[in-house]
Amino acid sequence: MPTLLVISHPEVIVDPGRPVERWCLSPTGVDRMRTFAQSPMAANVGSIWSSTETKAIEAAGILAGALGVGIRVSHDLGENDRSATGFLPPDEFESVADRFFASPTQSVRGWERAVDAQARMRKAVARIADNHREGDLAIVAHGAVGTLLFCALSGKPINRSFDQPFQGHVWTAALPSLQPITGWTPIAPRI
């Protein structure tokens, strides 16, 4: 049975002077993604899609290079739009993210509403899955939208309790049903 792998990019270099969408993977993130790309879980991937954000494209590129598979990108796989605030210090970011998940029908500090990001991600993944033909399908994206998608496909309300504990995780679903099989698990041990 083919499987959907929803992968969140691993660790990044936090650079407050650059737009968040252009942040790159850190050396640790690169190492963890390389480990995942060599794992049995990735062995049957026949198609890779990525958000248009640099960190996701870099992670997808590592996977693609290991498997000899091309990458396609979609803006609709991007993280929830947080451009209204831009970079936030970690403690402030976590507080706003908590509110984002707790009030999914409201825009928190100008961020894209959770229900809108969820609908966008669900529609994009359904479209991609409908056109997928061979092997497993990997979607390399981001933690928040990956969690929102998991909640939608699991029939669960939006809740941060389903979020990944740190960057660089994967959850799986059956294809073509998109019924989740597993929740978030680390792509590789945390270094």
pLDDT value of residue 167: 97
Angle between helix axes 143-154 and 90-102 (nearest 10 degrees) is 20
Ordered mean pLDDT values, 10 residues apiece, the chain (191 residues)? 96 94 97 98 97 98 97 97 92 96 97 98 98 95 98 98 97 97 97 78
pLDDT value of residue 84: 94
Question: Over 69-101, what HEC string results?
Answer: CCEEECHHHCCCCCCCCCCCCHHHHHHHHHHHH
List, in order of start, the domains of the chain with CATH numbers.
Answer: 3-186 (3.40.50.1240)
Q: Is the dihedral of CA 175, 35, 187, 189 positive or negative?
A: positive
pLDDT value of residue 170: 98
Q: How many CB atoms lie within 10 A of CB 3?
A: 17
The structure tokens listed for 141 are 């994206």
